[in-house]
Structure 1
């Protein structure tokens, strides 16, 4: 197995871990603990199942770190194809996306402090603390809506690198562009027309599986020039 092949498989493995872990806080915790329009019940559920909620904090921390290392692996794999696109991918996907994961941990930590109360929060009665805790939980969800913009943007330089690589299927490049557009459109809907979000999620959701297919390809197949034949087998000069 070549060094490039090993790097591709490592990136695919880290990608897989992000895909498996991220839904815990994104989907499982809210569906298990949060009660719509009932702050008191939500706070009671968090207090009763605190470890389940704390695992959500841990999941976001782990996903942030995995995302950073995964993009670093992709940069090692694809950075020489085009330096400018590689740096853009590294900045958007390897720095800004993890930063939002870590920021969202603070929202959940604040909610947990309000659930516990204590002397520092003695000025607030239980109903006020529950309302504030729910506010921070909503901020977590709103941050996810904003993060979708970055989830989409970092896929564009990745797609361009895949298209120009010569050792990954070109089809994934076009698919990742569509995947990125799907995230970007959903984020704009979150900002401008929240009432469209459910409809757009249903329509654009299938496009977001391109990332999953790309991840599985990297993990199972690696990166070998035999997948594509180019007239010029050499990588594009850096900065071209």
Structure 2
């Protein structure tokens, strides 16, 4: 196995870990603990199942770290294809996306502090603390809407690197552009037309599985020039 092939598989493995871990805080925790329209019930659920909620914090921490290492691995794999696009990918995906993960943890941490109370929060009665905790939980969700912009933007330089690489299928390059556009559109819908979000998520959601397919390709098949067919040189017969 070549170094290039090994690097591709490492990136695929790290990518797989993100795909497995990220839904815990994004989907499972809200589904298990949050009660729509009922602040008291939501706060009570978090207080009663604090460990489950804290695993959500750990999941976001892990995803932030893993994302940085995924992009570093992809930069080692593709950076020499085009240095400018490689640096753009490194900045958007390897620095800004993890930074948003870590920043968003503050919202969940603040919600926990408010639920626990303590001397620093004696000025607030329980109902006020519950309302503030719910505010921070909602801010966490709002930050995800903003983060989708970066989730999409970093895929554009990645897609261009894949297209020019010569050792990854070009189809993934075009598909990753569509994947990135889906995230960008949903992020602007969050900012401008929140009432369109559910409809757009249903329509554009399938495009986001491109990342999963790309990750599986890297993990299972790696990166080899044999993935792209090259036209055999023609041989001109010579007379004897």
- Give matches, 1:39-54, under 5 Å: 39-54=39-54
TM-score by length of 2: 0.95
Alpha-carbon shift at residue 230 of structure 1 (Å)? 5.4
Alpha-carbon shift at residue 38 of structure 1 (Å)? 1.2
CA deviations over 1:40-81 (Å, ceiling 9, x no partner): 111100000000000000000000000000000000000000
* Residue of structure 2 equivalent to 1:106: 106
**8 Å contact from structure 1 (residues 163, 169) kept in 2:** yes
Alpha-carbon shift at residue 229 of structure 1 (Å)? 3.9
* Residue of structure 1 equivalent to 2:176: 176
Number of aligned positions between the proteins: 231
* Residue of structure 2 equivalent to 1:126: 126
Question: 2:157 aligned with 1:185, yes or no?
Answer: no
Question: 2:203 aligned with 1:203, yes or no?
Answer: yes
Q: Separation in 2 of the partners of 1:103 and 1:14?
A: 21
* Residue of structure 2 equivalent to 1:154: 154
**8 Å contact from structure 1 (residues 166, 230) kept in 2:** no
* Residue of structure 1 equivalent to 2:234: none
- Give matches, 1:20-39, under 5 Å: 20-39=20-39
* Residue of structure 1 equivalent to 2:76: 76
Alpha-carbon shift at residue 11 of structure 1 (Å)? 0.1
TM-score by length of 1: 0.95
Unaligned runs of 5+ in 1: 232-240
**8 Å contact from structure 1 (residues 166, 229) kept in 2:** no
**8 Å contact from structure 1 (residues 29, 52) kept in 2:** yes
**8 Å contact from structure 1 (residues 93, 150) kept in 2:** yes
Task: Describe the SS at the equivalent of 1:214.
Answer: helix
Alpha-carbon shift at residue 85 of structure 1 (Å)? 0.1
Question: 2:7 aligned with 1:11, yes or no?
Answer: no
Unaligned runs of 5+ in 2: 232-240
Task: Describe the SS at the equivalent of 1:36.
Answer: coil
Task: Describe the SS at the equivalent of 1:35.
Answer: coil
Question: 2:97 aligned with 1:97, yes or no?
Answer: yes
CA deviations over 1:104-154 (Å, ceiling 9, x no partner): 111100000000000100000000000000000000000000000000000
- Give matches, 1:137-148, under 5 Å: 137-148=137-148
Q: Separation in 2 of the partners of 1:48 and 1:107?
A: 19
My pick for the range that moved more, 12-21 or 36-45, is 36-45
Runs of 4+ in 1 over 3 A off after TM superposition: none
